[in-house]
Amino acid sequence: MPRRNDVRKVMVIGSGPIIIGQAAEFDYAGTQACQALREEGVEVVLVNSNPATIMTDTNIADKVYIEPLNAETAKKIILKEKPDSLLPTLGGQTGLNLAMELAESGFLEEQGVKLLGTATEAIKMAEDRQAFKDTMESISEPCIESKVVTTVEDALTFAEEIGYPVIVRPAYTLGGTGGGIASDREQLNEIATNGLRLSRVGQALIEKCIAGWKEIEYEVMRDGKGNVITVCNMENIDPVGVHTGDSIVVAPSQTLSDKEYQMLRTASLKIISALGIQGGCNVQFALHPTSFEYAVIEVNPRVSRSSALASKATGYPIAKVATKIAIGYGLDEIRNAVTGKTYACFEPTLDYVVVKIPKWPFDKFVKAERTLGTQMKATGEVMSISSSFEAALLKAIRSLELNINTLEQDIYKPLDTETIRKKLRDINDERLFVIAEALRRGISIEEINEITKIDDFFLAKIKELVTMEETLKGYAIDTLTPELLRRAKKMGFPDVVIAKYTGSDRKEIKKLRQSYGINAAYKMVDTCAAEFEAVSPYYYSTYDQFSEVRKSDRRKVLVIGSGPIRIGQGIEFDYCSVHSVWALKEQGYETIIANNNPETVSTDFDTSDRLYFEPLTIEDVENIIETENPEGVIVQFGGQTAIKLVNALSDYGIKIFGTQAKDVDAAEDREKFDRILEDVGIPRPKGRTVYTLEQALAAANELIYPVLVRPSYVLGGQGMEIAYSDKDVTEFMEIINRVKQEHPILVDKYLMGKEIEVDAICDGDDILIPGIMEHLERAGVHSGDSISVYPANTLKKAVVDKIIDCSYKLAKALNVIGLINIQYVLYNEELYVIEVNPRSSRTVPYISKVTGIPMVDIATKLMTGKKLTDFRYGTGLYRNSEYVAIKVPVFSFEKLHDVDTSLGPEMKSTGEVLGISKDFHEALYKGIIASGMKLPEKGGGILMTVRDSDKTELLAIAERFEKLGYVLYATGKTANMLNMHGIATNAVKKLDEGSPNILDLISSGNIKLVINTPTKGRQPQRDGFKIRRKAVEMSIPCLTSLDTAKAVISCIEMERKSNGLDVVDLSVFG
C-alpha cells in the first residue's frame, strides 16, 4: 500500500508541558513524526504549548504554533492553516484527548480534516472502559473482574460483590491520576469520589486487585493492511500494583518460558487486530506467577512512554513507523533504518538486557509520600543496556544521579534486621536497596518473595550483586586478582565502588585493571542480534574482549547529555544538547552523544554520529573518551549532570570546549565569586558561608531576617528556603544536614525585589544578549517556578543599560565562551546579582524561539573558534521583539501527596508553557490557560488567607475580584479588614475554630480559587499546608503569591472582554 496522496498538509498535536506521566517521550515521538512526514514531502503544522521542546523548532515543522492545547485554539489554527489531516496519536494523552474532542464535535469533518492512523471508533474502543471490556470479551481475551461506574454508590456495591481490595482506575486520565487501591469501604469512598471527579467523562473502573501477579507489556505495531508485529516485550520487576511508569522494568522479559511469551504475544496481536489499530499500541498484561492464567490490564492505542522505552531498548523507531503507517504505508514497505536493508515488518531481537528505573522527585520533596501505587509519581526515567542483568541494573542505578553507585546503602546499616524485614513491606522507591540489605542480613529469597512478590529470579540476581560486594570487602588493592576484578567489572561494578571496598581510590583501581587489560568494550544495538550487518552507531559498554566501535579519524566532539528528567532539569537541556550536535555537524565535526534518558531526541541513534547509551559518571565518560579519542568534550548543555563533570574531566586532561573548569568553579565558589563581583563592582545581597547551626543563626541575625538558606552546588534551588526566624533556620539546617554537605551552606539576605534574568552568549570578547526577562513574581520564588516575561517591559533604560554592562563584565570576568545565565534582583532601584550559571539554562529554548536567535548553535560555534561578529545578530542587547512571550510554570502536585504547593526558592514545577501575543495581557492569558489553570467562573467563591504582611496589598486584589462578580471568603482577621474597607467578605472558621471550617468550605465545591500566601516553614500540620493540599485534591487553582493573583485577575478581565485571540506562528520571529 503506497502512501496516501490525499495527505499533503498535516497538523501534529504535541503533549504540552512536562508533567508527571507525560515527559520528554512525546517530544521524541512528535519530533520523529514531523521528520517522518517531511521526509515524504508532507507539510507539517505543529501545535504545542511547551517551548522547551525540539518539536517546536522551526526546522522540525513548517509551521510552529506555541499555543494553548485546547479546542478553541486548535480550531483557530485549523481554520488558518487548513491542514487536510490531523495526526492524533503521537502527542500523548493530551494530544489524543484534544484530537478526540475536535473529532467528536464534528469540527474536523466540517473542515474536511481527516484523522490519520487509528480510527476514532478504535480509540474509543480502547479508551472507554466498558467498550474495551466488551471488545475483549468478544475475542475471548480475559480481563480482570471489573465494572465501570459513574457513582460512588455503584463502586461500593460492586466492591462488596467481588471483595476488597479493589483498584480504582478513572477513565481518560493520565498516568493513573486519581486512581488507587482501596482495601476497605472507607478508602474506596475517598478514592472513588476523587477519581470520578478527575475523569473527563466522570467514569471509573472498579477492578479486582490482582496485586502480586507478574506485569508484562508488549509494544505492538499494526498497519492498515493488517500486518502485525511486536516490537518488544517488557517485564516489570515490581509486580502488578505499582504503576508501570513507577516500576523497574526489564526488557525483554526474563522469567517467561517461550510458551508464556508466545501466549501473551499472540494475545497482543489478537487485541491490536480486533481494535483495528493503525500505528503503535501498548498492551499490558497481568500473568499469574504459577499458572497460565492471565488478564489484559490496559491498552494504550497510541505511542506511549513505554513505546519510547521500547524504541530505545530495541533500536526500532516506533513513532516514525507509526507515522508512516498513518499516511498509508504498510510495515512491509518501510525500511528498517538500523540495518538499512531489511523492513519494518520484523521483530527486533535483543542480545543484551535493558533495565529502566524511574527517576522520582523524592530527593527533592523530602516530605512527599514515597509509597508507589497505581498513580505514577516519577518525573523521568533512566535506561541502561548491558549483557547481564546485574551490570544493567548497576548502570541504571548510577544513571539516576543520586550519588549511589551500588546497592549497599549506609542509611540501613544502623537498622536491626527486624526493622529491615518490616521495611520490605513498604512499596516505595527504596525497596530495591532494602531488598539488597535484607539479603545481606541473611533474609531468604523465599521470604522476600513472600513479602514483595518479586520473582525469585530477580532476587537471586540482586543476591549475586550483594555477594560480590561482600567478596570485594575481603580484598585490598594488592590482593585483588585479575579474575575477581574482571568478574566484578563484568557484573557492572564501577571502579569507585571496588575502590571503596578495597580501601583504595578510583584512579588506582582503574590503573590496576588497565594493567590487566580489563577495559570497557562497546557493543552495538542493532535490532537483530548481529544476524545482519547494521549501520546504526548505537553503543553500550560491556567488559568483553571484543569491541565493535570502528575507529574514525575525523575530528570528533563528545557532548554530554542531561540524564533523566527531574524537577529543575527538564527537557530544555535535551533541546540544547541536540542543537549543539547539529551545530557541530555543520562545522564538520563527527559528533558523539552520551546520555541515558530513553525519552529523548538526543538518544535517537540518528541524532548524533555516534550514540553511547551510558551512565554519566566520570568513569563511564572516561571510558568513552578512551575509545573514541575525541578532540574535546562539551559540558555546557547537559544541565547540572554535565557541568558537574567539568572538574574531573579537566583533571583527566581532556579539552573542555567553551568555558573552562576553573571559571565554572569561580561562579559556584562563594569566595571566588565575591572577589569577582568586587572586581567588577556589582553588588550582591549580603551573605555568609556557614558550616554549623550556630554560625547560621548568628549570620541570620546579623543580616536581619528574612534570609535565604541553601546548600552550595545544587540544582533547581534544592534545599533552598526563606527563613523568617531562628526556628526556620534551625529546621532548614536540620533538613540540609541530613545529607552530608561537602560544601559550605550559604545564608544570604533576602531582598524582596523584582527578579530579572538574562541568558547571554559570549565569545570571550563580546557578548550578545538575545533578550531580558523579568519575573512576574517578586524575588523569592525560584526562577523556574515564576511567570517570566520577555521582553522585560517595566525596566527603566538606565536599569537595562546597567544589566547589559553587568552581564558583559561578568561574562568577561568568568572568561565565558558559550552561554551564561545571570539572575538579578532589582531592589530599591539598585541592581544586585543573585546567581550566575556559566552554562545553558532552562530559558534558552524559550528565548531562542522568541528572539529568533539560535543560541545553542551560536554558542557551540563560538566554542569551536568562531566569533560573535561572524553572525548576523550583532553584540550587546538584541532588539526587542514586538511580541510578548510569557512563560508560565506547570506543576504536578496532584500526583505527589504531602508536597507543599506553596512557591518558594526551591523549584517545584515539572514543566512550562508559553503564551505569545503582541499584547502583554493576551500573552499572559494564553500562558495561564495553557498551563491548565481553570479560571474561576463568575459568581464563584474565592478564598483568601494571607500572611499579615500581605494584608494591605490584598485589598486592591480583593476589590478587583469583587468588581468582577465573585463571592469572597476569608478567615477572621482578613475578613474583618476587607469588610472594614467596604469589600463584602464572608468570614470562614479556621481549622481550630470548629466546623464548618475552611476545609469543609473548600470541599463543598463552592470555592473556585484559593489565594494563600504561606507563613513559614513547611510543616504539614499547619493550616496553610492543609488548605493548599485540599485545593490540589479538589483541582482548584491555588495561588501562593499575590503577584500571581494579580496576573490571574488580569486574565479574567481579559477573558471577559476578549472576543477571540489570534494564534501566532513562530515564523514571525524569523
Partner 1 sequence: MKAYLALEDGTILEGSSFGAVGEVIGEFVFNTGMTGYQEVLTDPSYCGQIVTMTYPLIGNYGVILEDIESARPQVKGFVVREMCKTPNNWRSLETLSEYLGRNGIIGIEGIDTRALTRILRDKGTMKGIISTSPDFSLESRLSKINEYRVENPVEQVTVKEMIHHKGTGLRVALIDYGIKLNIVRSLLKRNCEVFQFPASVTSEEVLAVNPDGIMLSNGPGDPKDCGQQIKTLRELIGKKPIFGICLGHQLTALAMGGDTEKLKYGHRGCNHPVKDLDRDLTYITSQNHGYTIIEDSLDSSVMKVSHRNMNDGTVEGVRYMNVPVFTVQFHPEASPGPADTAYLFDRFTSMMEDWKGDKHAKT
The residues of the shown chain that bind partner 1, judged by CB under 8 A, are: 225-227, 229-230, 252-259, 261-262, 265-266, 269, 289-291, 331-332, 341-343, 345-353, 387-389, 455-457, 460-461, 523, 528-533, 544-546, 548
Say how far apart CA 300 and CA 303 lie, in whole Å.
8
Residue listed under C-alpha cell 551490570: 391
State the minimum distance, in angstroms, from the CB of residue 553 to partner 1: 23
- Least Cβ distance, residue 261 to partner 1 (angstroms): 5
Task: Rank residues 490 and 866 by Cβ distance to partner 1 and give the closer one.
Answer: 490
Question: Taking the complex as a whole, how short is the minimal distance between the CB of residue 285 and partner 1, in angstroms?
Answer: 15
Burial of residue 1031, with CB atoms counted within 10 A of its CB: 0-12 exposed, 13-18 middle, 19 or more buried:
buried
Q: Please identify which residue in the block is written with the cell numbers 513491606.
A: 425
Instruction: For residue 383, list its beta bridge partners.
Output: 356
- Which residues, at least 6 apart from 557, have a Cβ–Cβ distance to it below 8 Å? 584, 589, 590, 591, 592, 630, 631, 632, 633, 634, 657, 864
Q: How far is the CB of 228 from partner 1 (least distance, A)?
A: 8
Beta bridge partners of residue 170, listed in sequence order: 204
- Minimum Å distance from CB 448 to partner 1? 13
Specify the DSSP class assigned to residue 923. H
Judged by beta carbon, residue 112 or residue 226, the one nearer partner 1 is 226
State the minimum distance, in angstroms, from the CB of residue 522 to partner 1.
11
Contact 222, 118 (CB under 8 A): no
**What's the farthest any 2 CA atoms get from each other in the chain?**
84
Shortest distance in whole angstroms from residue 313 CB to partner 1: 12
SS3 label, residue 137? helix
Instruction: Give start and end residues of each alpha helix (H) in 223-365.
Output: 258-275, 305-314, 318-326
Joined grid coordinates for residue 611: 550514540
Distance in angstroms (rounded) separating the CA atoms of residues 680 and 813? 8
Torsion of CA 1004, 1005, 1010, 1014, to 10 degrees: 40
ω before 239 within 30° of 0 (cis)?
Answer: no
For the bound state, the minimum distance from the C-beta of residue 223 to partner 1, rounded and expressed in Å, comes to 9
Rounded CA gap, 1036 and 934, in Å? 8
Instruction: Tell me how crowded residue 72 is: count the other CB atoms within 10 A of its CB.
Output: 12
Cβ 386 to partner 1 shortest distance, Å: 9
Q: Which is nearer to partner 1, 351 or 801 (CB)?
A: 351
How many CA atoms are closer than 13 Å to the CA of 983, on its beta-carbon side?
A: 27
Give the nearer residue to partner 1 in terms of CB position, either 104 or 351: 351
Written as one string, the DSSP assignment of 395-430 is HHHHHT-SS--SS--GGGTTS-HHHHHHHTT--BTT
469-494: string of b/e by CB count within 10 Å (b at 16+)? beebeebebeebeeebbeebbbbbbb
C-alpha 238/C-alpha 241 separation (Å) is 8
Q: Which is nearer to partner 1, 347 or 953 (CB)?
A: 347
**Whole-Å CA distances, 396 to 361, 383, 404:** 16, 6, 10
- Of 414 and 546, which CB lies nearer to partner 1 in the complex structure? 546
CA end-to-end distance (rounded Å), the chain: 39
- Smallest gap, in angstroms, from Cβ of residue 225 to partner 1? 7
* Nearest distance in Å: CB 350, partner 1: 6
- What is the smallest separation between the CB atom of 623 and partner 1, expressed in angstroms? 17
User: Cα separation of 612 and 457, whole Å?
Assistant: 29
Least distance to partner 1 from the beta carbon of 488, Å?
Answer: 15
User: Which of residues 291 and 403 has its CB atom nearest to partner 1 in the complex?
Assistant: 291
Cβ nearer to partner 1, comparing 227 with 931: 227
φ, ψ at 606 (rounded to 5°): -105, 15
Contacts of 692 (CB under 8 A, 6+ apart): none
Answer for the pair 774, 757: CB distance below 8 angstroms, yes or no.
yes
Nearer to partner 1, 342 or 737 (CB): 342
Q: Measured from the CB atom, is 345 or 649 closer to partner 1?
A: 345
∠ CA 910-899-413, rounded to 5°: 105
Q: Distance between CA atoms of 277 and 223, rounded to whole angstroms?
A: 8
Nearer to partner 1 among residue 321 and residue 345 (C-beta): 345
Nearest to 720 by CA among 821, 706, 369, 742: 706
Nearer to partner 1, 303 or 331 (CB): 331
By C-beta, is 218 or 362 nearer to partner 1? 218
Residue 529 or 984 having the CB closest to partner 1: 529
Shortest Å, Cβ 443 to partner 1: 16
Residue with cell 523549584: 907
Can you list the positions of beta strands (E) in 124-278?
146-149, 166-170, 180-182, 204-208, 214-222, 228-236, 249-251
Name which of 230 and 971 has its Cβ closer to partner 1: 230
As measured in angstroms, the least distance from the Cβ of 603 to partner 1 is: 21
- CB-based contact 348:877 (threshold 8 Å): no
CB of 258 to partner 1, least distance (A): 4
Give dist(CA 495, CA 508) in Å, integer. Answer: 9
Residue 439 region, left (φ>0) first, then alpha (ψ -120 to 50), else beta? alpha
- Select 263 or 366, whichever has its Cβ closest to partner 1: 263
Closest separation in Å from C-beta 312 to partner 1: 17
Residue 349 or 815 with smaller CB distance to partner 1: 349
Which residue number, 255 or 979, has a Cβ lying nearer to partner 1? 255
Residue 553 near residue 699 (C-beta atoms within 8 A): no
Least Cβ distance, residue 259 to partner 1 (angstroms): 6
* Structure-block grid coordinates of residue 235: 517485564
DSSP 997: B
Query: For residue 363, what are the CA distances in angstroms to 359, 429, 562, 675, 1021?
Result: 10, 10, 17, 33, 21
